[in-house]
Chain A
Amino acid sequence: MRKIILAALLLCSLVCASCEFSMKEPADGAVHYVIIGQNYNWDSGGHLSSCINDAYAMKQLIEHYYPSTVTDKLSSFIIDEPASGTYKETYYRFNHALNLLEEGDEENHIDPAGDNDMTIIYYSGHGSESSVIGEAGAYYMLSEWKSADDFDTKDMAPAKLLRYAKKIPGETVIISDCCFSGGIASWYGNTADLNVMGSNIWAAALSDARYPTTSIHVLSAATNAQTSKESPEYNHGAFTYYFLVGSGATAETAKKANIKDSGLAFTSAPASDKGKIMIDSIFSCVKKHVPSSFNQNVTSAGNPDDIALF
């Protein structure tokens, strides 16, 4: 019996040998962002009015936690309110921002992102489901509002975005507040088909479990079968509003319209988990607060690792 007790004590002491306690943490890397907000106000449909406000608020949130991003040359802020259905500027600027992170800009003496850096890609705008270009059920970040038959290579499909994101050194977090945005998780995530999310995730896991690449983390406003809503009450998308509040923005300031560069005030973050805002903790916070009447489920890819956003 004594031997058993000794063995049990030895097991307990193994916990003290955990790598987390015995190894030195690497130096913190830099944080970069690519933020895109696209409003749509023209007559042919798909009216969106709070996406630019979403983008401004996210920029302030990231700059609040990472003040160095204010002067970061790799960070890009892209807002747009296209005046017609032929506008493609956002797509090209988005491409350029991702290329800059991957390759830097030798001419202007800008180094690419480092291996220990984190890049946050945030998108607020239209998303649409499509069965064209060989990606059935996938969503598209639209460079313009158009019918499903008219998607082309100028739209950012999940596979394309992931191809870009995989080339960016370090960790990449993709946060998207648009319709069908769970498509990026389903294209990439552990469970694969999130059409069944909320009803039978086991069936999804059994039917097609994918192997995730763990340097990319995904958080999206809806599943790939749901639309994402904005509300005049919040002046934001519901997902983005609760993301902001969960991350420490005060509810009063987060609700402001035309928030621009300095409208947000901050308090202690409800989603904080031992001082860090992890993807899991902000996921739980947003999931808990987005009203069920919005009928949208926040979605994350099932990486084995959880990452600290702030």
Chain B
Amino acid sequence: MKKYVSAVLLFAVLLPAAAFAGMGLSVGAHAGSSWYMAVPRFADELPFRSSVTADAGISLGVIDEELDYEVSLIGAFKFVSYSPVFNDKRSRQFVGGGGGLRLLYLFSEHWGAFAEGVLFANRYAVDQAFLSTQVKIGPYYQFLGDGDWRLALELPVSLEFRKDVLGVTVGVMVQANYDIPRRDNV
């Protein structure tokens, strides 16, 4: 936990330094939805219970001159719905917010891959809180851009580590970025 926070804080300090060192800055936002499988770490009738998530977030990062990679600090928010009732039980709904790091590497002009890790503070409707860590990876496809702006579609797959449940998600995400300085080739 302390190492994780330290890494985020270190990056927060390095970010402006990188900008001063000639790297570009990128401001981004994302929104999307996922299918959430809550795999219980306790006895249950089902191998997993299914929910739907709504995800959103913002990011601030550095990009290299060729725009081969981007490293960002992200703030993420999510809502995970109740699962359908099965055998008079359902997976609890919760909301969460947190921060973490994101890496994007572009293989070509349009295609890339991203990875991110976020520490979430979550809250059930019954006024109970819990922490989770989410690790997310997936392909990145940039389908729109004009030099300043990039608009991309992502298909993230994630693992969310909770004390009592392992969350597995598969989803769709739209990522928008505004890059400084201007890019020439999109």
Contact = CB atoms under 8 A, between A and B. Distances in A.
A212 B131 CA distance: 14
B170 A14 contact: yes
Contacts of A189: 128
Interface string B107-141: 00000000000000101111111110000000001
A202 B86 contact: no
Interface in B84-101: 84-93
B90 A4 contact: no
Contacts of A279: 126
Interface in A97-137: 116, 118
Contacts of B141: 1, 4
Contacts of B50: 15, 18-20
B176 interface: no
B99 to A, nearest CB: 14
Contact of B91 (A23, A202, A305): A305
Contacts of B35: 11, 14-15
A19 B164 contact: no
B171 interface: yes
Interface size class of A (residues with CB under 8 A): 35 or more
A11 B49 contact: no
Interface in A28-81: 28
A214 B130 contact: no
Given A18-B50, A23-B86, A303-B92, A11 B171 contact: yes
B162 interface: yes
Interface stretch (B11-19, B21-29, B40-48, B70-78): B40-48
Interface of B: 35, 38, 40, 42-50, 52, 82-93, 121, 123-131, 141, 143, 153, 155, 162-165, 170-172
5 nearest A-B residue pairs (beta carbon): A302-B128, A18-B50, A205-B129, A308-B88, A300-B126
17 contacts: A14-B170, A19-B50, A20-B50, A20-B85, A23-B86, A25-B86, A118-B88, A189-B128, A206-B131, A211-B164, A276-B88, A279-B126, A280-B124, A299-B127, A304-B164, A305-B89, A308-B89
